[in-house]
Amino acid sequence: MMEKVKTTCVYCGTGCQVYFKVKDGKIVDTKPVRDGFNPGHGKLCIKGWNLHEFIHHPDRLTEPMIRKNGKLEKVSWDEAINFVASKFKTIMEENPGNKKVIGCLSSAKCTNEENYVMQKFARAVLKTNSVDHCARLCHASTVVGLVAAFGSGAMTNSIDEIADSDVIYITGSNTNEQHPLIGARILEALHKGAKLVVADPRTIPLCELATDHGGIEMNQRPGTDVALMNGMMNVIINENLHDKEFIENHCENFDAFKEEILKMSPEKASEITGVPKEKIIEAARIIGNGKAVSLIYSMGITQHTTGVDNVKTCANLQMLCGNMGKWGTGVNPLRGQQNVQGACDLGALANVFSGYQKVIEADKREKMAKEWGINVNDMDDQIGLTVVEMMNAAHDGELKALYVMGENPMVSDPDINHVREGLKKTFLVVQDIFPTPTVELADVVLPAASFAETVGTFTSTERRIQMIRAAINPIPNTKLDWEIVGLIAKAMGYDGLIYSHPREIMDEINRTTPIYGGITWDRLLSDEKGLQWPCPDPQHPGTVYLHKDGKFSRGKGYFSAIPFKDPAELPDESYPLILSTGRILWHFHTGTMSRRSPTLHARAPEGYVEVSIEDANELKIVDGEKVKVKSRRGEIITKAKVTERVKKGIIFIPFHFKEAAANVLTNPALDPIAKIPEFKVCSAKIEKL
């Protein structure tokens, strides 16, 4: 007999529903949920079909460990918990008043409840706002940019609406590989007659779909997105294709915005981006004449020193054409990890509590202090350190300790050599399910339960909160993430993080977090669809799309006048190529889970660098040959993949492979507002071995 347990997939932010098949206490298979509601419409991608394969992998961490005499040694849970608590207390006592001496990394791979608990631990126990997670490395600029434009920093519309769009503009998102079941909605729209406009420096599968269905593809130079979209908006305004009534009634600062746009002619945009002006004009006309235009983007837009500018420009384009506050339109950033939206929502960010309530506002601190039973005067009243800032502070000896839950900065962060040097100087606590390159540097290792052993909720890319259910008991001698954090807090003298069940954590979230106010545990158990925030009270049905009828969260939508700025690092004689990074279909994030799936590993067992045919010929490189890729920060050796997917002067490396980690090379330069690193553009060179 096999048991069937329904849960939510963890391999991207789509929120596909799956059944785990369980036999004799082990998960043996994964199947899609075909009955009832499912964002995947009863289908799964290749990763989803093989979701169960990593859970019982022999590499699972099952023993707490403390580094003694330079080596990690197995210890009891009591010893590990008390050791961590004692070290944290000592560091705080030795640095009185220093709110940036300890940092916490929460995780988009953990539940909403676990992320809430970690940020509460940072603020209530460690007295710091230096808590962050990998959204800082992927969608921090989305939150900042969309809040500035609309008042809310999330996907404005729902996944199902994409199929009813008559024009879809995709920029910086290889959707069919990164979010295959959302890609299926794009295909559905095309079959209904929609037109597709794709802007990407690489020739991705969507490019061919665009041209085959009367749309257009544009291969812009990396880092020139503002110039491209400003050039398109120049055409839209000059050809009178903008929605004057929407702008007049629902937006502000249009005149200053228009003045900037008129500076970027399609001819000038073509010169900057490398896209022929005819394509810029045609794309502008397709979008300008669309009745329901959905703009979709991902990390190709956000991971820049101008990431916030890029996001604001996306917002400008959609407001200009009146494509906001109605079905099948909007600005729709696709979240790459299953709970990156939820981790942001629940306050795992250095500047906000849960629900995006600002830590610098006294009334918000007083509210949280009352709920948490702490003295408000002890709380940190300043914005904390972000991920990259923590690494820099560690390197400089200012950050003394770092508590990492389910993150892997030794693969995910830019300039890995710099990260390694910093982490070695800290008291490093790592809580994870597998040994990772970050675990290898830890002073304490805490073995956690996986999502398949956890009860809780995830929030998908469309703001939909869904249940995950424990299919099996935790692997022996592992503990749930929220439980571990609570035990450390208790050992430090704070009992406010001891819960008996995640339901109690969600009850607290309902009290403290207005956008989740009506998303109660009982409602989630009884509603298979889940609920989309904002949902302020138990009678509220949830929100399918935001800013209905042009009623923006901030009042009126704000047009930002955004001039084009170059990336932080451009090619030169020493490093003549532009390196960009990203995901591939077969793997997920840093590969901790997907590379332990035999099926997925067999499809893509090693990393590579995509090189254009022209560059390969000049370098006398053949397909499959090992080469050295270098930047100003380091070098890796990997396999060359000679392809037409990249143009001359551009190379691409997937970031999943620790043996040839792309982020050894990438530039840690930050967007000045969102503090997101510039993963998508850095100068590099290839050397033949």
DSSP-assigned states of every residue in 106-162 = --TTS-HHHHHHHHHIIIIIS----EE-GGGGTTHHHHHHHHHHHS--S--S-GGGG
pTM comes to: 0.95
- Distance between CA 236 and CA 228 in Å, rounded? 13
Question: What are 105's strand-pairing partners?
Answer: 132, 404
Instruction: Spell out the CATH class of 65-138+338-461+473-532.
Output: alpha beta
pLDDT for position 136: 87
Q: CB-based contacts of 8: which residues, under 8 Å, 6+ apart?
A: 15, 16, 17, 18, 338, 458, 460, 466, 467, 468
- Distance between CA 13 and CA 162 in Å, rounded? 16
> Region 345-372: what's the mean pLDDT?
97
- Distance between CA 680 and CA 684 in Å, rounded? 12
pLDDT for position 572: 95
3-54 falls under which CATH superfamily?
A: ADC-like domains (2.20.25.90)
> Region 183-200: what's the mean pLDDT?
96
- Considering only CA atoms, which of 256, 10, 307 is closest in space to residue 153? 307
The tens digit of pLDDT for each residue in 480-497 reads 999 999 999 999 999 999
Q: CB-based contacts of 69: which residues, under 8 Å, 6+ apart?
A: none
- Considering only CA atoms, which of 203, 217, 241 is closest in space to residue 317? 241
Taking residue 107's Cβ as centre, other Cβ atoms within 10 Å add up to 25
Just give the CATH number of 577-688.
2.40.40.20
The tens digit of pLDDT for each residue in 467-526 reads 999 999 999 999 999 999 999 999 999 999 999 999 999 999 999 999 999 999 999 999
pLDDT band (50, 70, 90) for residue 36: confident
What integer best gives the mean pLDDT of the chain?
96
Is pLDDT at 538 greater than 80 in this prediction? yes
Q: Where are the alpha helices (DSSP H) in 239-320?
A: 244-250, 254-261, 266-273, 277-288, 299-302, 307-320
The tens digit of pLDDT for each residue in 654-682 reads 999 999 999 999 999 999 999 999 999 99
The tens digit of pLDDT for each residue in 569-606 reads 999 999 999 999 999 999 988 889 999 999 999 999 99
- Distance between CA 260 and CA 565 in Å, rounded? 13
The tens digit of pLDDT for each residue in 417-463 reads 999 999 999 999 999 999 999 999 999 999 999 999 999 999 999 99
pLDDT for position 137: 83
The tens digit of pLDDT for each residue in 308-351 reads 999 999 999 999 999 999 999 999 999 988 899 999 999 999 99
CA distances from 521 to 112, 153, 457 (A): 12, 24, 9
Percent of the chain with pLDDT over 90: 96
- Distance between CA 357 and CA 366 in Å, rounded? 12
pLDDT for position 319: 98
- Written as six digits, the tokens of 47 are 């990763």
Tokens 């406010």 sit at which residue?
496
Same fold, 3-54 and 65-138+338-461+473-532: no
Is pLDDT at 135 greater than 90 in this prediction? no
Three-state DSSP class for residue 431? strand
Return the domain boundaries, the chain: 3-54, 65-138+338-461+473-532, 141-333, 577-688
Just give the CATH number of 141-333.
3.40.228.10
- Written as six digits, the tokens of 38 are 């499912």
